[in-house]
Amino acid sequence: MSPAAELGPNAGLIDVPGSRRALLTPALVLDLDKFEANIEGLARICGAVGLRMRPHAKTHKCSEIAKRQVAAGAVGVCCATLHEAEAMIAAGIEGVLITSPVVGAARLGRLAKLAARAGRFKVVVDNPANLRDLAEAVRTSGAALEVLVDIDVGMQRTGVATEDAVLGLAGMIADAPGLTYRGVQAYSGMVQHINDLAGRRRVYGKQLARLAEIIAALGGAGLPPAIVTGGGTGSLVIDIEAGPFTEHQTGSYIFMDVEYNQVEMPISGAAPFQTSLLVQCSVVSNNADAFVTINGGYKTFATDGPKPVLAEAGLAGGAYDRFGDEHGKIELPPGAEKPQLGDAISLITPHCDPTVNLHDYLHCVRGDRLVDIWPIDARGVL
């Protein structure tokens, strides 16, 4: 493949005046001005309280974005999967932390190989048998690996919940040749989307108190965690005040989406992040009176959450509805002029992470111009 082919069918539009509206669609569009403001915003917020940043790359799956996060001061990035970690490390990112247990012989073999060429590479464990397998895989390869205990503070997805289990695992890591004990992770996914701040404080406050107890117990046992990692975009407003974290895993802040735009998070009194990510579609049929059909459906937008929201000024008050795998319906607001065939229609993504995962490229724009294309090089499920 030529470099142009690797950037997809819109590569020829880079730097062409007015090229944003000429994109072959559906196209994931990144407003660079807003994106950069979000990157700077998080650095300012975390910097003010001495919280390190290790943003979650599961949101973007894009090593170009990871590079910009590191350039803004991040100590590395988080990854949800081994495949994401492989893509980030291949692009030269150091300080990758895999935030889910890496399980199974095939995956541990790949992890050990990866560890041999990665800097400050970290994984979490939540099970003694998995820890033994991990130690054995790394011992065989001779690679260095930092390990954290995954603590379950309420979600019950991964992690260990009891103080005894945390202390037991931490001790085992500290004793394992080839592994370095570095601390703990406590991620509470479900609280991120408690939209009202008071409700979020109530639920999350109890979890953080529990985490503080466990950290104290680790200290008492001679295993104080150098790293306490966790947090998301929704909990940031609480984590910067009261959280026991040394570093933060915020992910969605770079893009924002319909879901996170509903989460109350006043930081310095205002919502700190802007919607930088859109999906641009095109009108492909307009024979009906009250709506038009666009080329964006189940394969274009995540469907686990709310529907996409129109970002076109001329269609404000209109609504997107799902219309099959490849199609969406745009119900026109009263009095709106019906869009023409081929017209560009931009929408805010419903849930940014799984929406990004459906696409192969981020089309970076400034104003009305396409200025760059970044491959979503860690896309996929493996």
**Closer to a copy of itself by Cβ: residue 139 or 322:** 322
**Interface pick for a copy of itself out of 357, 369, 372, 375 (rule CB under 8 A):** 357
- 281 beta partners: 345
Look at the alpha carbons of 210, 214, 219, 223 in this order and tell me if their dihedral is positive or negative: negative
Amino acid in position 192 = Q
Q: How far is the CB of 216 from a copy of itself (least distance, A)?
A: 22
32 interacts with a copy of itself by CB under 8 A: no
Binding mask 213-242 for a copy of itself (x = CB under 8 A): ------------------------------
* φ/ψ of residue 79, rounded to 5: -130, 145
d(CA 156, CA 189): 10
62 is written with which tokens?
Answer: 């894009």
Number of residues that bind a copy of itself (CB under 8 A): 67
157 interacts with a copy of itself by CB under 8 A: yes
Range 307-326, binding a copy of itself (CB under 8 A): 322-326
210 interacts with a copy of itself by CB under 8 A: no
Residue ranges of E strands in 108-246: 122-125, 145-150, 179-186, 227-230
**Closer to a copy of itself by Cβ: residue 79 or 223:** 79
Q: How far is the CB of 71 from a copy of itself (least distance, A)?
A: 26
Burial 317-344 (b: 16+ CB within 10 A, else e): ebebeebeeebbbbbbeeeeeebeeebb
247 is written with which tokens?
Answer: 């570093």
168 interacts with a copy of itself by CB under 8 A: no
Look at the alpha carbons of 227, 80, 49, 91 in this order and tell me if their dihedral is positive or negative: positive
Residues lying near a copy of itself in the complex (CB under 8 A) are found at 8-9, 22-27, 58, 80-81, 100-101, 103-107, 110, 126-127, 129-130, 152, 156-161, 165, 189, 282-288, 293, 295-296, 298-300, 302-304, 322-327, 329, 341-342, 351, 353-354, 357-360, 380-382
